[in-house]
Chain A
Amino acid sequence: MDYRIAPRDERTQPARIVPGYPQTPWRNPREPLVRRAPTLSELTGPAGVEKRVQLLGGDIAGRGETQAIGQLMHLRVRVVDEDGAPVGGAVVEIWQCNAAGRYIHPNDDEHAPVDRNFYGAARLVTDESGAFTLRTVKPGAYPVPTKDGWWRPPHIHFSLFGKVWLSRLVTQMYFPGEPLNPQDRILNAVPDAAARERLIARLVPPAGEPHGALVFEHQIVLRGSQATPVQP
């Protein structure tokens, strides 16, 4: 088998049960997870998911020519594996709330207004260099129904299909300098400070993007490596 999946450093991944996140103690296993050596079954994975799902493109900043309310932003994302090799042809699903903090979803309550020019879902395929650009408006913060002062900071959700089954990733991306970041229970469920920092996009100068758009860059590293382990 030419592709390897090695165990991750636990400190770079979120705790499964999170204080103050009331659903987590009901849904995460009590029994220890079972360690297994990956077989061909887990080291292969779906190719051509885009044949089964509808692609929506990466421009969700408005409807037609009408821009959604909020700060226009371009997000340049690069998807790589643990070798830093680009993961091209990967299906990426993206979802976010509008600038007021409201999702188009039956689970969202009516704490904030809907923007009729914003739906908040993009689905696309990475190019050969593992890159894609999302054109959107910056999501707002919103209160969590725990009603104890927890607000989610602005964030964007990602679901990605990598080269193999065990490369599958669901994650969230945050914005730099947000005052709600240091108290967010989901971001801070990751124990390692450097790993948390890697979940935060970087604000960069525009390079060809239109005037009036904030530009952010982000990198997502999927599990998997071709590299031969270093011999001692």
Chain B
Amino acid sequence: MIPTGEATLGPFFPPRYVDAGANDLTQCGGRKAGGEAIEIVGCVRQEDGAPLDNLLLEIWQADANGIYRHRADPRHREADADFLGWGRAATDKAGNYAFRSVRPGAPAGRARHVNFMVMFSGLMRILKTTMFFPGEQANGKDPVYQAVPEARRALLVAREEAPGRYRFDLKLRGEHETPFFDD
């Protein structure tokens, strides 16, 4: 069967769908996830540099040991039961978002990374990208990182602006445009 056509999120996604705490991956059901807590913050802008308000972001990542809590992962039985791996945040008027999470371990064959989805009014399809961590030797061997033209790869690497706080700004179009993936 042919997958249903996508459509824009539009401007009226209910604010209550960004549940309080949905951007905090460090706990699940009141229990603390294993690993080192980190923050992921950033600003999302469109072509003219204007920050985008009320844009929806979702992330998906492995736990601190590089295991996905999903049955397709051969190691999923060892996954951290207190780590859901998914979170949602909306940008504020200044275009800023923030997640709390744990530093993902490197999954087999991959560098440590966090998957992002961007949904917004005027985006006819979900935009998908991947955040990598700075100073990781494994980045250069990561197949997703390598799929990006060399000149643009640095745009996928977050900046550690304070210990444990990673800045991953997103530019949807234009100068310093974030690389997005087509799967």
Contacts and interface: CB of A to CB of B under 8 A. Distances in A.
B162 interface: no
B2 A37 contact: no
Contacts of B127: 28-29
Contacts of B172: 26-29
A63 interface: no
Given A34-B182, A47-B69, A39 B109 contact: yes
B37 interface: no
Interface string B35-73: 000000000001110101010001010100000111111
B6 A46 contact: no
Interface residues of B, number: 76
B173 A28 contact: yes
B152 interface: yes
Tell me if B's interface is mostly helix, strand, loop or mixed. Answer: loop
Contacts of A39: 107, 109-110, 143-144
B35 to A, nearest CB: 17
A82 to B, nearest CB: 5
Contacts of A44: 60, 68-70, 72-73
A26 B7 contact: no
Nearest to B72: A44
A58 to B, nearest CB: 15
Contacts of A27: 46-47, 52, 120, 122-123, 172-173
Contacts of B70: 44-47, 164
Contacts of A29: 127, 172-173, 177-178, 180
A37 B143 contact: yes
B53 to A, nearest CB: 10
Interface in A77-92: 80-84
Contacts of B52: 27
Interface residues of A, number: 82
A14 B69 contact: no
Interface string A158-183: 01000011101111100000000000
- Among B3, B62, B117, find the residue whose CB has the most chain A CB atoms closer than 10 A: B3
Interface stretch (A49-57, A67-75, A203-211): A49-57
B177 A41 contact: no
Nearest to B76: A44
Contacts of A138: none
A65 interface: no
A119 B183 CA distance: 36
A190 B86 contact: no
A108 B12 contact: yes
A178 B33 CA distance: 50
A190 B2 CA distance: 13
7 closest Cβ contacts across the A-B interface?
A23-B122, A46-B86, A33-B182, A44-B70, A44-B68, A172-B7, A103-B12
15 contacts: A13-B125, A15-B124, A18-B124, A21-B122, A24-B122, A24-B124, A31-B180, A33-B180, A34-B148, A36-B182, A41-B62, A41-B113, A46-B84, A107-B54, A186-B8
